[in-house]
Structure 1
Amino acid sequence: MPMKESARAACVSRIFFQSWRHYPSLILTKKTLGFKQNTCAKGDIEALTYKVDQILKNHSGAAVKTLELDIFHCRDLDPCLLNNWLRISITPGTENVTLSLPKRYKEEYTFPCSRLFGGSGNSSIEYLHLTNCALRPTDHLGCLRSLTELYLREVCITGEELECLLSNSHALTELELVLCNEIICLKVPCVLERLSCLVVSDCSMLQMIESKAPNLSSINLEGDLVQLSLGQSLQVKSLDMDCSTGSNFLSYAITKLPYIVPNVETPTLSSISEMVNTPMVPATFHHLKSLEIYLDGDLSARYDYLSLISFFDSSPVLETFSLHRSQPQALEIERLGELPGGRQICQGANQTSPKSVMIFGFCSAKSMVELTCHILEYATSLGCIILDVVFDEYDEDDIGRCSVNPARKAGECCRLTNEMILEANKGLMAIERYIARKVPSAVKVRSSWAV
């Protein structure tokens, strides 16, 4: 290379090197480090160690705002190396920290809490996301004055330790706990005045959630049904509950939730087993506007879909109702017989008239037809009803099941078994025979099972 070009290259290299030393983001992941294999052999561990050491050695560390360290499949990495990397890269000015480790580290590696705090006992960290490690905070460590988002996935931390951490994180707005199986009682202290979103998923030992956060507005719970004590729950507008064990969750929801979250507006309720019909109760969801119900598991052969009218009667301002039924029941349409007027059910004074109704996984069960006919008869404000005889978890709203959804590969469609196709055809026959003629002219109706 001529001297002139060499000098230019050297100048550019020095400028780039100085710029790199103060680059604010360190994203050290499988992709950015150039690893393509799903396993991490001895040579890969050595390569990983060398690459990360060189990156941190050549970086000043002083300007790191974001650290993302994903060790992916390297299960035999020395924990001392991890501590050293965190010591170098997490500085008093660091704002975002993400650490993802293999499962074996869950009980073998304890995240150094001292790295979260500056010399003054305070911290500049705003976002903390830890996966597969232990976290053991204590009172004397200091205050996470800037922390707004905390995500713990498969992290070993007790309820008392978490409460200690939360009590020193007054700016927290979002808290997510996934598979944190040492927590028995989750206590959210009243000092979290900014906390608006709480997500708790599959924490197997959890028995109770007690929240005193005054402005909590969104709750997402998945797993075993736990005792809820939401002393100041007036701000809870969005509620998503997925009960993965037990049965008759809908009965619990309609009898208990009006008192636990009295101002909820958009609940989503998922049940895997309903063995009894949904009861009629005097409780009222005074502010409920949009209700989604997922029946994802086994239903009693005698389950009465018409009993879901209980939610209509309990929700005087309901605007949108969605029912998602995932399992075919293999019912014979011939068993329906004639439905001259349908069953008469006791209606309360609060029964509402939704504007939009959607049923995904519509079947030929007599009570399903009765539910639909009842809605058409009494929902005087109804503007649109969608009856889809196939439940498709990836595409429920647009009824276009092939390549439109990013969760699928291009051209991949919903797989239909012979049983699903048979039940879908029965559902369409039931719609044509019993429902189509009852649809008011002003109501838009759509029924489908294919693109």
Structure 2
Amino acid sequence: MQTISTLTLHGKFLHLKYLHISLNRGVAISPSYDYLSLVSFLVAAPCLETFIFDVRQRDMKHDSIIGDSSQLRQLPEHRYNNLKSVVISGFCSAKSLVELTCHIIENASSLESLTLHTTKGCDRCSDDNPGVCAPMGRNIIKEAHRALVAIRTHIEGIIPSRVKFIVVEPCIRCHAVENQMSS
């Protein structure tokens, strides 16, 4: 495994079209980690077309944007002219993750689709196969609902109409917050 400083990435991945960054599977993510620093990967890959960010942690320890009255940070404008698809799995209400998402939306002129998974990758049941949701802990469900509030408050309003916007939320049949309060 190679450790890369996010401060020295500029110009390193000139032909990279697909980037999948995964922070999960037992990795403790420090509450001081700034998701907005991932912008340096986007800047370093001017041909990037697909960006997948998978962040799964048991409990969200970052500062939540919910109840935070401070302004979102703005980075200098960058143009991600080739970025077409962005998927963030494990989307949560962490302020720096919301800032990263807003920055991408505002700077990716060719963005075609944005998918935000709030379920931390847990499978959901469907009308065809009801009642088979993967178990989710109460804290994960509560954070998923806080993430939905963050999406509605800070992200939905800035999505261009040309962008296919998908939000994967907890199954209301199996993972309603009310069901978890009594557990």
Change (3 A) 1:315 1:332: closer
How far, CA to CA, are the matches of 2:161 and 2:14 in structure 1?
Answer: 30
TM-score when scaled to structure 2?
A: 0.79
* Aligned 8 A contact 2:85 2:113 in 1: yes
> Counterpart in 2 of 1:445?
165
> Counterpart in 2 of 1:301?
31
Deviations 1:323-369 (A, max 9, x none): 11110315544343253xx4232466x75541000001001111111
Change (3 A) 1:381 1:446: same
Deviations 1:227-270 (A, max 9, x none): xxxxxxxxxxxxxxxxxxxxxx5xx24x5xxxxxxxxxxxxxxx
Aligned pairs for 1:267-416 within 5 A: 278-296=6-24, 297-327=27-57, 328-330=59-61, 331-339=63-71, 342-346=72-76, 351-392=80-121, 401-402=124-125, 412-416=132-136
* Aligned 8 A contact 2:66 2:150 in 1: no
Aligned pairs for 1:26-425 within 5 A: 225=1, 252-253=3-4, 278-296=6-24, 297-327=27-57, 328-330=59-61, 331-339=63-71, 342-346=72-76, 351-392=80-121, 401-402=124-125, 412-425=132-145
* Aligned 8 A contact 1:387 1:446 in 2: yes
> Counterpart in 2 of 1:429?
149
TM-score when scaled to structure 1?
A: 0.34
How far, CA to CA, are the matches of 1:288 and 1:362 in structure 2?
Answer: 24
How far, CA to CA, are the matches of 2:141 and 2:76 in structure 1?
Answer: 35
How far, CA to CA, are the matches of 1:432 and 1:316 in structure 2?
Answer: 30
How far, CA to CA, are the matches of 1:364 and 1:284 in structure 2?
Answer: 31
Q: Give the secondary-structure state (helix, strand or coil) at the position aligned to 1:293.
A: strand
Structure 2 residues not aligned, in runs of 5+: 172-183
Structure 1 residues not aligned, in runs of 5+: 1-224, 226-248, 256-277, 396-400, 404-409
How far, CA to CA, are the matches of 1:384 and 1:439 in structure 2?
Answer: 10
How far, CA to CA, are the matches of 1:307 and 1:427 in structure 2?
Answer: 20
* Aligned 8 A contact 2:52 2:88 in 1: yes
Change (3 A) 1:366 1:433: same
* Aligned 8 A contact 1:312 1:352 in 2: no
How far, CA to CA, are the matches of 2:147 and 2:67 in structure 1?
Answer: 13
Structure label with greater radius of gyration: 1
Q: Give the secondary-structure state (helix, strand or coil) at the position aligned to 1:436.
A: helix
How far, CA to CA, are the matches of 2:97 and 2:118 in structure 1?
Answer: 11
> Could you tell me how far 1:420 is from its partner in structure 2?
0.2
Q: Tell me which amino acid in the other structure corresponds to 2:34.
A: D
Structure with greater proportional strand content: 1
> Counterpart in 2 of 1:231?
none
Instruction: Please provide the CA RMSD for this pair.
Output: 2.4
How far, CA to CA, are the matches of 1:281 and 1:402 in structure 2?
Answer: 41
Matched length: 164
Q: Give the secondary-structure state (helix, strand or coil) at the position aligned to 1:299.
A: coil
How far, CA to CA, are the matches of 1:441 and 1:351 in structure 2?
Answer: 18
